[in-house]
Amino acid sequence: MMNSKKNAFYAQSGGVTAVINASACGVIETAAKSKKINKVLCGENGILGALNENLIDTSKESKTTIAKLKNTPGGAFGSCRFKLQDPVKQKKEYERLFEVFAAHDINYFFYNGGGDSQDTTFKISEMAKKLKFPLQCIGIPKTVDNDLPFTDCSPGFGSVAKYVATSTLEAGLDVKSMAATSTKVFILEVMGRHAGWIAAASCLASSNSEDPPHIILLPEVPFEKNKFLTQVKQTIRKNGFCVIVASEGTQMKNGKFLADSGLTDAFGHKQLGGVAPVLSGMISKLGLKNHWAVADYLQRSARHIASKTDLDQAYAVGEFAVKLATSGKTAVMPIIKRISDAPYKWKIDTVSLKKVANVEKTVPKKFISKNGFKITSLGRKYLSPLIQGEAQTNFNLGIPDVAFLKKDLLKKKLKKFN
Amino acid sequence: MMNSKKNAFYAQSGGVTAVINASACGVIETAAKSKKINKVLCGENGILGALNENLIDTSKESKTTIAKLKNTPGGAFGSCRFKLQDPVKQKKEYERLFEVFAAHDINYFFYNGGGDSQDTTFKISEMAKKLKFPLQCIGIPKTVDNDLPFTDCSPGFGSVAKYVATSTLEAGLDVKSMAATSTKVFILEVMGRHAGWIAAASCLASSNSEDPPHIILLPEVPFEKNKFLTQVKQTIRKNGFCVIVASEGTQMKNGKFLADSGLTDAFGHKQLGGVAPVLSGMISKLGLKNHWAVADYLQRSARHIASKTDLDQAYAVGEFAVKLATSGKTAVMPIIKRISDAPYKWKIDTVSLKKVANVEKTVPKKFISKNGFKITSLGRKYLSPLIQGEAQTNFNLGIPDVAFLKKDLLKKKLKKFN
């Protein structure tokens, strides 16, 4: 008797998050209960796994390991930064994908990524239509940057937001206690190249106007050196110390990133990156002792301080994606819809992928204070629910107990792809 | 009837930690049960509080607030970087201290700090002897650097160690998932100017030789650029990616810090700090995409990921300090004595402050692998118990619920000190 169940393909794409594996877990656990899906095959290193026919057989993993994905940051199956070629100009890659899907009985396609990736999901769905290939293509939202449109927030963001708010609170208490005789200014650089959501979330560290962060730098607000330094001095006069949270994408009016402002090392080589050291240099010239931190990957992988709300939503979009696929939907993506702020209520809705592709949502003006350095109460109202709740982390020997996958690859059926 | 109970003075000194307030809590809660101690008066901003007669009356704080100190990073009473003048050359500051102690009926002196601070505690005890002033002087150990001698470990270190091990594990999973098409190398810079204990602790992130961290850079091992870059390339060939944890104090054979190797900004101004960006520059020249993070204050204030063992020890040394003082001891410091590795057992012992002052304990050779990039099993055996256990953190509205002190100052009785 033929198996009427079909296989599903799932891949992780772009920068990973503390909870992207929770979405994977949602897909795999929900598919296991479905009468239509046989195996979930995961692309090793994202879509490259499909092109190279490197398909991880998740049925070989234990239920315990799959459940542990919720406790595991990073992309457990490997992610990639790889944009498929335009299918109109160069069909080779798309054709290969469908060869692999056909060879492995794949009728469901789940792509867990940001805006760029959902553009790919949409193109694959279009190609499937053209080829009359029975493939349900579902996007699963993910990005720490929170810049996806339509969805109220992006899974992955709430946990970075909680990390940044907590770190700002903690480091703020540290510098406050040192300020009388030592460090007066602390600068924390966070992610966000084009949208300042992560830096904005640091506002949740404060319960009144004197608490850190005192200055937030967003890519949405052009950086003015004199205005900034005046604000630093005023803050120190008032509070005795100053905590700054800066987006990596902080930029001048002409669009030039501060981090690109020409650091060179001893050998004359250009040093990339670091808004924080650039700001530190400016502040040091005022004679103010300062410290700086660059959170980089620590912030987006900090599963140990993940937001429960975020983890739940990451799982829910994975779960719902399977339900959409098995009910015959394609070229759609589950999104988070906010029902109310307080108490915070949300549900899953869907959006057409055609709309999502390559649109970026930045921090709106109404969320930014007049002087550009603070977040308004409206902004706090939006951000606050996203960091609520602590997602339990299990520890083993003092460190987080994460999933170790066997990553059994399916036997290849096709020739190598060049 | 005269109150036969005498007051105690407690101050925090030097760089603060995630658990120094637990020591304060240990002092205050234990003093409250003592028949000999009336009030615990805390120096506002460390020893400066004594010089300036800014004494925080902890009896005005609620028991709940005092208990919450265990949940609060930073120095709740303010710390300082301030070294008293040599009492032989210039007695003014020491005389003032005793004026303040006399004016406020202070017969117990607790100083919570590192090596430098314990030198001060010792000098004050000597001066008390000379003046025949009844002052029991007890040092309370604290330093994230773990460089205090005699004690098996320093309260504050275990929590940074847990933060660094956890962050290395988490960021390691992140870069591992990106390495196929993107970031190949991740560099985490951690504290430790002269001793590499914090960087060494990152070894606890790994459960086998292929896990991050792949390369640990310690101040104890002279940095050799070619050897380092060869190790990076070899690691990538073998594992596909490479995670490096570097002490801020990483230095060349001639003692020159890597972080001082001449970064200049666009305006030609020298940029201080950042071993990580310097290493990043070297690695970029190999054509390897890399990311770097500088944890700075985040690591030493991360109470949310504190080690239960560390928190317990920080409380215990505060508690024991009071018992030493009230049993008539002076010029001593409680230390941690390890009874066994597995199961880990420890007890409190004491050491004379005369011995402690200004001795630095670095990572011993037997803890460092032959190639200088790894920690031996002997080193792991020492480090592992220190990060065990998770110290519960209470959250409120998504962020840690920390103590807010009233900080009521005693009425001044003396003239202003210049």
What is the per-residue pLDDT for B2? 56
Q: How far is B368 from chain A (nearest CA, A)?
A: 21
Angle, CA A207 vertex, CA A216 and CA B394 arms, to 5°: 110
How does residue B266 score in pLDDT terms, banded at 50, 70 and 90?
very low
Q: Which of A57, A119, A145, A147 is catalytic?
A: A145
- Shortest CB distance from B400 goes to which of A166, A263, A301? A166
Nearest to A311 by CA among A389, A405, A382, A401: A389
Check if the beta carbon of residue A49 is closer than 8 Å to that of residue A57. Answer: no
DSSP letter, residue A409: B
Three-state SS letters, A245-298: EEECCCECCCCCEHHHCCEECCCCCEECCCHHHHHHHHHHCCCCCEEEEECHHH
How does residue B268 score in pLDDT terms, banded at 50, 70 and 90?
low
Q: Which of B145, B147, B310, B312 is catalytic?
A: B145
The partner residues of B215 in beta bridges, in order of sequence, read: B244
A12's enclosing H/E stretch is: strand A6-12
- Shortest CB distance from B79 goes to which of A177, A292, A389? A177
Q: How far is B163 from chain A (nearest CA, A)?
A: 9
The token pair that represents A48 in the structure block: 């490259």
Nearest to B164 by CA among B336, B306, B22, B19: B306
Asked if B177 lies within 8 A of A12 by C-beta distance, the reply is yes
Instruction: Tell how far CA B49 is from the center of its chain.
Output: 21
Question: Which pLDDT tens digit goes with each residue over A89-144?
Answer: 889 999 999 999 999 999 999 999 998 899 999 999 999 999 999 999 999 999 99
What is the per-residue pLDDT for A418? 82
**Residue numbers in A near B167 (CB within 8 A):** 298, 301-302
Domains of chain B: 6-143+305-359+390-400 (3.40.50.450), 157-301 (3.40.50.460)
Q: How far is A301 from chain B (nearest CA, A)?
A: 5
pLDDT for residue B233 is more than 90:
yes
Pick the residue with more confidence: A207 or A3? A207
What is the per-residue pLDDT for A86? 87
**Residue numbers in B near A297 (CB within 8 A):** 171, 174-175, 186, 291, 293
How does residue A1 score in pLDDT terms, banded at 50, 70 and 90?
very low
Q: Quote ipTM for the complex.
A: 0.96
- Shortest CB distance from A301 goes to which of B170, B261, B397? B170
Question: Which pLDDT tens digit goes with each residue over B343-392?
Answer: 999 999 999 999 887 778 999 999 999 999 999 999 999 999 999 999 98
Burial (Cβ within 10 Å: 0-12, 13-18, ≥19) of residue B115: buried
DSSP string, B177-222: HHTTTS--EEEEEE--SS--HHHHHGGGG-SSTTSSPSEEE-TTS-
Instruction: Tell how far CA A337 is from the center of its chain.
Output: 18
What is the percent of chain B with per-residue pLDDT over 90, rounded to a whole number?
Answer: 88
How does residue A219 score in pLDDT terms, banded at 50, 70 and 90?
very high
Question: Which pLDDT tens digit goes with each residue over A156-185?
Answer: 999 999 999 999 999 999 999 999 999 999
Asked if A297 lies within 8 A of B171 by C-beta distance, the reply is yes
DSSP string, B66-95: HHHGGG--S-TT-----PPPPTTT--HHHH
Question: How many Cβ atoms are within 10 Å of A210's Cβ, its own excluded?
Answer: 11
Question: Which pLDDT tens digit goes with each residue over A236-251?
Answer: 999 999 999 999 999 9
Asked if B273 lies within 8 A of A266 by C-beta distance, the reply is no
Rounded CA-CA distance A230/A283 in Å is: 11
Pick the residue with more confidence: B267 or A294? A294
Asked if A298 lies within 8 A of B301 by C-beta distance, the reply is no
Give the count of Cβ contacts less than 8 A between chain A and B. Answer: 258
**Residue numbers in A near B262 (CB within 8 A):** 265-266
DSSP letter, residue A367: G
**Residue numbers in A near B390 (CB within 8 A):** 395
Asked if B171 lies within 8 A of A261 by C-beta distance, the reply is no
- Shortest CB distance from B293 goes to which of A162, A264, A294? A294
**Residue numbers in A near B46 (CB within 8 A):** 180-181
What is the per-residue pLDDT for A269? 47
What is the per-residue pLDDT for B269? 47
The token pair that represents A390 in the structure block: 């602590």
Mean residue pLDDT across chain A:
94
- Is A145 in the active site? yes
Question: Which pLDDT tens digit goes with each residue over B273-326?
Answer: 689 999 998 999 999 999 999 999 999 999 999 999 999 999 999 999 999 999
Pick the residue with more confidence: A194 or A70? A70
Nearest to B279 by CA among B215, B334, B333, B211: B215
3-state DSSP call for residue A221? coil
DSSP string, B305-324: G-BHHHHHHHHHHHHHHHHH
pLDDT for residue B3 is more than 80:
no
Rounded CA-CA distance B207/A258 in Å is: 40
Asked if A178 lies within 8 A of B75 by C-beta distance, the reply is yes
Q: How far is B342 from chain A (nearest CA, A)?
A: 12
Rounded CA-CA distance A132/A129 in Å is: 5
Question: Which pLDDT tens digit goes with each residue over A293-304?
Answer: 999 999 999 999
How does residue B224 score in pLDDT terms, banded at 50, 70 and 90?
very high
DSSP letter, residue B386: G
**Residue numbers in B near A80 (CB within 8 A):** 178, 180-182
Rounded CA-CA distance A74/B187 in Å is: 16
What is the per-residue pLDDT for B264? 55
The token pair that represents A124 in the structure block: 């694959």
Rounded CA-CA distance A42/A416 in Å is: 18
Pick the residue with more confidence: B106 or A81? B106
pLDDT for residue B263 is more than 60:
no
Mean residue pLDDT across chain B:
94
Rounded CA-CA distance A72/A39 in Å is: 22
Average pLDDT on A256-276 reads: 66
pLDDT for residue A359 is more than 80:
no
Q: Name the residue type at position B121.
A: T
**Residue numbers in B near A18 (CB within 8 A):** 170
Please list the alpha-helical segments (H only) found in B74-186: 92-103, 115-131, 157-178
- Shortest CB distance from B281 goes to which of A271, A390, A398? A271
Nearest to A229 by CA among A185, A282, A184, A182: A282
Mutate to test the interface with A, among B164, B166, B184 (most CBs of A within 10 A): B166
Asked if A302 lies within 8 A of B170 by C-beta distance, the reply is yes
Asked if A162 lies within 8 A of B72 by C-beta distance, the reply is no
**Residue numbers in B near A294 (CB within 8 A):** 276, 292-294
Mutate to test the interface with B, among A54, A142, A174 (most CBs of B within 10 A): A174
Question: Which pLDDT tens digit goes with each residue over B40-96?
Answer: 999 999 999 999 999 999 999 999 999 999 999 999 999 998 888 888 888 999 999
Asked if B298 lies within 8 A of A261 by C-beta distance, the reply is no
Asked if A165 lies within 8 A of B398 by C-beta distance, the reply is yes
First vs last Cα of chain B: how many Å apart?
36
What is the per-residue pLDDT for A160? 98
Asked if B294 lies within 8 A of A297 by C-beta distance, the reply is no
How does residue B267 score in pLDDT terms, banded at 50, 70 and 90?
very low
Average pLDDT on A331-349 reads: 97
Check if the beta carbon of residue A198 is closer than 8 Å to that of residue A145. Answer: yes
How does residue A387 score in pLDDT terms, banded at 50, 70 and 90?
very high
Average pLDDT on B136-149 reads: 96
Q: Which residues of A277-403 form beta strands (DSSP E)?
A: 290-294, 332-340, 345-352, 395-396, 399-400
pLDDT for residue B271 is more than 80:
no
Rounded CA-CA distance B167/B157 in Å is: 15
| Largest separation between any pair of C-alpha atoms in chain A | 80
Q: Residues for chain B: how many in total?
A: 418
- For A389, phi then psi, to 5°, come to 90, 145
